[in-house]
C-alpha cells in the first residue's frame, strides 16, 4: 500500500535539519559514508535487482510503501553481525527521521514486541535525547541507552582526541552546537553533555588548525564562559 510522500509527516525542513545532524556531509567519518548511500536512496532512481533485499525494501519504504517498511524491520539482517547489523541500525534511524515521530510510531506499533525492541535498541543509542525527542516512538520499547560519563569518554578516546571541558546550560549547549554545525571546518568535532558538564572533542589530526578557532567560537557564542583550555588527552595518562 502506498501512502504518498512519507517525509510530509515530519516536514521537509525538519527532516533536512535532522538529516544533516545525524548524517553530516563530508565529515570523513562513518555517518558521512552512510549519507552518500542514503542520498541515493532518497533522491536517486529505483534500485536495481543487484542490490540486497534489505536495501530495496528500505528504498520502497522511504518512498511510501508500508509493506516494505514492515519487511525491512523484519529483514534477516536485523539478526546479522558486524557490518550488516550496523547498517540495519543506521537505516532505522533514517526511517525515523524521514517518517517523523507520529507516523513512524504508528507503523512501529503494529509490529510485535521483539521487533519494537530491536528497533528501540538500534535507535536509542544513536539519538541525541537532550537535543531531539521522539516520545511516541520511545514509549513503544523498553531499552534505554546509558551513555558513558565524560571521564569514560576521555579514557576511551585518549589516543585520538583532544578536549576542552565547559559548564553550560541547555540553551548555551544548543547555541554552541548549532554554531559548530553551521561551520564546515568543524565537521568531525563533537560536543558531548552530561548534566551541566559539556566537553568539546576534536580529532587530533584536526586539532592544530581548529582549537584556536573553536576557542573564539565559544567566546563569541557563550560570552559568559571562561577561557577554553584544550588538553591533549594522551598526555594525561
One DSSP character per residue, 143-204 reads ----PPPHHHHHHHTTTTEEEEEEE--HHHHHHHHHHHHH-GGGTT-EEEEETTEEEEEEET
| pLDDT-derived band at 236, boundaries 50, 70, 90 | very low
pLDDT for position 114:
97
> Chain-centre distance of CA 71, in angstroms?
23
Query: Is the pLDDT higher at 223 or at 82?
Result: 223
Q: Residue 73: enclosing H or E segment and its boundaries?
A: helix 66-73
Q: Tens digit of pLDDT for each residue in 203-220? A: 888 888 899 999 999 999
Q: Tens digit of pLDDT for each residue in 9-42? A: 446 678 998 998 899 887 767 888 899 999 999 9
Domains of the chain from N-terminus onward: 6-138 (no CATH), 150-236 (3.30.70)
Query: Is the pLDDT higher at 2 or at 227?
Result: 227
- In 74-149, which ranges are continuous DSSP H helix? 83-108, 113-124, 135-138
Ramachandran angles phi, psi of 197, nearest 5°:
-95, 140
Task: Check: pTM over 0.85? Answer yes or no.
Answer: no
Amino acid at each position: 500500500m502506498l501512502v504518498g510522500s512519507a517525509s510530509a509527516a515530519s516536514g521537509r525542513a525538519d527532516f533536512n535539519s535532522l538529516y544533516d545532524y545525524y548524517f553530516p556531509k563530508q565529515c570523513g567519518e562513518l555517518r558521512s559514508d552512510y549519507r552518500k548511500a542514503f542520498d541515493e536512496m532518497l533522491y536517486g532512481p529505483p534500485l536495481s535487482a543487484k542490490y540486497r533485499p534489505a536495501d530495496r525494501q528500505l528504498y520502497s519504504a522511504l518512498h511510501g510503501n508500508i509493506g516494505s517498511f514492515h519487511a525491512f524491520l523484519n529483514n534477516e539482517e536485523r539478526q546479522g553481525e558486524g557490518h550488516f547489523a550496523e547498517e540495519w541500525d543506521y537505516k532505522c534511524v533514517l526511517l525515523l527521521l524521514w517518517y517523523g515521530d507520529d507516523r513512524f510510531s504508528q507503523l512501529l506499533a503494529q509490529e510485535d514486541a521483539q521487533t519494537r525492541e530491536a528497533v528501540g535498541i538500534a535507535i536509542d543509542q544513536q539519538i541525541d535525547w537532550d537535543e531531539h525527542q521522539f516520545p511516541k516512538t520511545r514509549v513503544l520499547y523498553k531499552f534505554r541507552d546509558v551513555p558513558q560519563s565524560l571521564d569514560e569518554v576521555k579514557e576511551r578516546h585518549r589516543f585520538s582526541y583532544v578536549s576542552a571541558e565547559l559548564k553550560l546550560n541547555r540553551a548555551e549547549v544548543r547555541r554552541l552546537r548549532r554554531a559548530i554545525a553551521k561551520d564546515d571546518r568543524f565537521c568531525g568535532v563533537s560536543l558531548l553533555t552530561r548534566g551541566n558538564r559539556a566537553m568539546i572533542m576534536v580529532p587530533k589530526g584536526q586539532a592544530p588548525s581548529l582549537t584556536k578557532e573553536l576557542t573564539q567560537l565559544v567566546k563569541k557564542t557563550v560570552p559568559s564562559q571562561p577561557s577554553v583550555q584544550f588538553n591533549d588527552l594522551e598526555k594525561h595518562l
